Amino acid sequence: MKLLGLGCGRRMGNSEILMKEALMAAEATGDIEVELIHLHDLKIKPCTGCEKCTMSMSKGGTGECFQKDDMRFLKQKFTECDGLIISAPVFELRPPGLYCIMNDRFLGFGPQYLMSVFQRPKRAGALISVGGSDWVQLALPQMNLAMFMLNFKVVDQFQEMWTGRPGHTLFHEEALARANQLGKNVAEAMKKPPAEMAFKGDDPGICPFCHSNLLLTRGKNVVECPICAIRGDLALKDGEITVNWSAEDIRMIKWEPLGMGEHFKHIMERHVYFEENKESLKPRLDKYRVYKSYSLPPKAEEAESQVQEEG
């Protein structure tokens, strides 16, 4: 079985060390072959927002992104592996921009591919997040999105904190032990049928699907998980916050084939409406097209002489 480790931090940084600790532990359980990818080694262009992928889907195409870069390599590696561990630092409370750029490009794998991934049995995934402080609130919830888009079940995750300088995590024996356990948990899950893969994270969280503790308030006592978009009624039970989640929302959750299929169907319906009515927009668009022009930075030489003048 193949276990892929995707490191998204500095080379020999904390997230890489913890990921390698997890991978070594997984490998030591036997029958697991490990492959490593360092996100910074890859050339990944940002999504341009052209929507060729979703437009192609509406016309029956594969919807694969036109950009030729290392996302194709990554797609192949994600397809081949039986398990995935992603480890990343925290930048501004959440995973780094490069992680988000990669995640944005998943849509460009093509909606047809994404739907095919949802026909496959779920595979085991796990997440490690490392912050230099305790400003980490959005990191793991956001990192889950990449796993869910590719139909991995996150069987374990943990947040390391107060670990700023590269190698700092080696002072934290408990973090290394936790990473080691995470590796074993992933290995164990990889060897089980999907229905038997249990969540082994430290905190079950409030959302039964993504295990995050984030809640959006939606008026009165209604709350929503911002990752899974399921809603429920908030209540206090013996002084503890509980949510009575809507069974229908859970049935249609967007990270399962039914909900994902509905999501793509709704996008296609909007595309059809747009294509049928777009001519009527033309005169109205002009108002915005002619409104002012954008400011641009000075060209390199001008910027250089400006700095010299100022200095």
Ligand X SMILES: Cc1cc2nc3c(=O)[nH]c(=O)nc-3n(C[C@H](O)[C@H](O)[C@H](O)COP(=O)(O)O)c2cc1C
Interface residue list for ligand X (CB under 6 A):
9-10, 13-16, 89-93, 130-133, 135-136, 163-164, 166
Nearest residue (CB) to ligand X, 93 versus 281:
93
Radius of gyration of the chain (CA): 22
**Cα–Cα separations (whole angstroms), residue 57 to 89, 110, 183, 271:** 34, 8, 37, 10
Give least dist CB 79 to ligand X, A: 26
φ/ψ (deg, to 5) at 289: -65, -40
Cβ distance to ligand X smaller for residue 10 or 72: 10
- Tell me how far, at minimum, the Cβ of 12 lies from ligand X, in Å: 8
Nearest approach, Cβ of 167 to ligand X (angstroms)?
8
In 3D, which of 123, 187, 126 has the Cα closest to residue 150?
123
In sequence order, the β-bridge partners of residue 35 are 4
CB 204 within 8 A of CB 194: no
Least distance (Å) between residue 22 CB and ligand X: 13
At its nearest, how many Å lie between ligand X and the CB of residue 17? Answer: 8
Beta bridge partners of 87: 7, 128
State which residue, 126 or 223, has the beta carbon closest to ligand X: 126
Q: Is 35 helix (H, G, I), strand (E, B) or coil?
A: strand
d(CA 193, CA 124): 10
CA–CA distance, 100 with 139 (Å, rounded to integer): 11
Burial 48-81 (b: 16+ CB within 10 A, else e): eeeebbbbbbbeeeebbbebeebbeebbebbeeb
For residue 81, the minimal CB distance to ligand X (Å) is 21
Rounded Cα distance between 142 and 160, Å, is 15
Closer residue to ligand X, CB minimum distance, 14 or 56:
14
Give Cα 131 distance to the centre of its chain: 17
Residue among 19 and 189 whose Cβ is closer to ligand X: 19
CB of 15 to ligand X, least distance (A): 3
For the CB of residue 283, give the shortest distance to ligand X in the complex, in Å. 45
Task: Decide whether 165 or 266 has the Cβ nearer to ligand X.
Answer: 165
Least separation in angstroms between residue 130's CB and ligand X is: 5
- Greatest Cα pair distance in the chain: 68
Residues 156 and 205: their CA atoms lie apart, in Å, by: 12
Nearer to ligand X, 53 or 90 (CB): 90
How deeply is 131 buried, as exposed, middle or buried, from its count of CB atoms within 10 A (0-12, 13-18, 19+)? buried
Between 167 and 194, name the residue whose CB sits nearer to ligand X: 167
Pick between residue 41 and residue 92 the one whose CB is nearest to ligand X.
92
